[in-house]
Amino acid sequence: MTRPRIALLGRFAEHTSATRYAAVVSARALLESLWLAGAEPVTLLPAPGPEGMDWPARLSGVDGVLLAGGADIDPRLYGESDIHPEVYDVDALQDEADISLATYSLDGGIPTLAVCRGLHILNVARGGTLVQHMDAHHRHVVHDVVVEREVPGFAAGPITASCYHHQCVDQLGEGLEVIGRAEDGTIEALAIDSPGWAFAVQWHPEDTAKDDPRQLEVLQALVAASR
């Protein structure tokens, strides 16, 4: 069976041991988990200008989109001028490309899964805001998330999630529905109003997908919707 092609934007990295210069990368665990789920992952360059944001052309032959984790979004994009000192690695092109791709994929009904920063991107793209730095510790944390209602890829009830984030949703964006929270009330999963399959998780399913069937099911749901 042909693997559906799942596109994700690469992340800018200043240094990697495998390259002599700055790099555009995708997390190996994420790509391997997508492959395990049955997808053919395709990393795209975040590129500037009209050609870079020409998603009808750039997504030709692509069946689904994954909005990956990464660094922080510029708070000015959600109306905040005071920048918390913990905000890190903001990149204007990365933000523009992510928001543009998210908007296009959701409006067009392309099956879309957002992970960590990807959830933040969707929320900001839909007019929502973020907590720039959380008081609660959610980096390198494995905890239960309660999924409040069953949706494709997410059975209702608790799911053990691997988290690495210091920001979270503050004001919820338009067309987003909370379907999962951590015990402390942090929003951890969203259903998104879109003509196609579209969900977002605050955690990283790729961290444990090889050993946890429920995390693999999240990625398999994207693959199934993309067929």
What is the residue-level pLDDT of the chain in tens, covering all 227 positions?
799 999 999 999 888 888 888 999 999 999 999 999 999 999 999 999 999 999 999 999 999 999 999 999 999 999 999 999 999 999 999 999 999 999 999 999 999 999 999 999 999 999 999 999 998 889 889 999 999 988 887 888 999 999 999 999 999 999 999 999 999 999 999 999 999 999 999 999 999 999 999 999 999 999 999 99
Please give the DSSP secondary-structure letter assigned to residue 206. G
Report angle CA 100, 105, 107 to the nearest 5 degrees.
95
pLDDT at position 20, please?
85
Q: At 8, is the secondary structure helix, strand, or coil?
A: strand
Which CATH code is given to the segment(s) 5-226? 3.40.50.880
Stated as kind and residue range, the H or E segment containing 227 is: none
Question: Strands, DSSP E only, in 52-186?
Answer: 64-67, 112-115, 130-131, 139-147, 157-164, 168-169, 176-182
pLDDT at 1: 76
Burial of 162 (0-12, 13-18, 19+ CB in 10 A): middle
Q: What residue ranges do the domains of the chain occupy?
A: 5-226
Catalytic sites, residue numbers: 116, 204, 206
The whole-model pTM stands at 0.95
